[in-house]
Structure 1
Amino acid sequence: MPDPRPIYQQLAAGIRDQISSGLLPEGERAPSTNELSKFHSVNPTTSAKALTALVEEGLLEKRRGLGMFVVDGAREKVRAARRESLAAEFIRPLLDEAQALGLPDADLDRLLDEERKRL
């Protein structure tokens, strides 16, 4: 199933992934608008919108005449946002469902352990 998000959000998410994984380290130059456009075969305006979103999130900074660079602390910022998203979108609903089923903590822990072994 294709990603339903706008392309600029998909591009920004890809750069966030690179920051989170360390593939794009703090202090390094991020891809330029033109590089992103060529690589993904998209309009430069779309690439610029993705980079602007990352600047607004405080993950990239513009250095006049040099390009965009990953700011210090960006990796932890991305990871913290992902942890919060994990908690909000998966863990809290899981705990709510377990409570609705009357599932004791020990049983939930056991289910989680079983699923971990399947990975």
Structure 2
Amino acid sequence: MNHLTNSDKPLYLQIKALLEDQIVNDQLKEGMQAPSTNQLVKFYGLNHVTVAKGVNMLVDENILFKKRGIGMFVSEGAKEKLLYSRKLDFVDKYVLKMVEEANRLGISEQEIIQYVKEIKKGEL
């Protein structure tokens, strides 16, 4: 497990993000049992209510589901949902602002694409 380090985010959102990262990175796969609330409480030394709030958000979003008496499990399609959501967030946070600034600077679509290719290759 990763350690919680993002102090500007509430702890319950850090727990939520941690579990999401584990799903996206295939550490937790569809159908696999997720760490229990009690395990997360013990590992991170957090309040049970704080951990439960983050986990329950994932249940509400159908990323995790509960099997009564057994635990939490990763829902079918969870990784795809998370990737889709993160891609939309990426476009909103980065691409939209980049395109707006490129328009202000008169940078063409082809130039943007070339810059991105160069950066991905490590040439820029």
TM-score relative to the length of structure 2: 0.90
State how many pairs are aligned: 119
User: 2:29 aligns to what?
Assistant: 25
User: 72, 88, 95: which one pairs with 1:68?
Assistant: 72
User: 1:43 aligns to what?
Assistant: 47
Fraction of identical pairs, as percent: 37
Range moving further from structure 2, 103-112 or 55-64: 103-112
Runs of 4+ deviating beyond 3 Å: none
User: 2:97 aligns to what?
Assistant: 93
User: 2:88 aligns to what?
Assistant: 84
CA–CA distance in structure 2, aligned partners of residues 97 and 79 of structure 1: 26
- Quote the RMSD (CA, aligned, Å): 1.5
Encode CA deviations 1:12-39: one digit per residue, 9 max, x unaligned.
0000000111110010111111100111
Q: Structure 1: which 5+ runs fail to align?
A: none
TM-score relative to the length of structure 1: 0.93
CA–CA distance in structure 1, aligned partners of residues 107 and 88 of structure 2: 24
- C-alpha displacement at 1:97, in angstroms? 0.8
CA–CA distance in structure 1, aligned partners of residues 113 and 80 of structure 2: 28
User: 1:110 aligns to what?
Assistant: 114
Contact 2:6 2:14 in 1 (8 A): no
- C-alpha displacement at 1:2, in angstroms? 4.2
- C-alpha displacement at 1:117, in angstroms? 2.2
- C-alpha displacement at 1:92, in angstroms? 1.1
Letter in 2 for 1:22: D
| Larger helix fraction of residues | 1
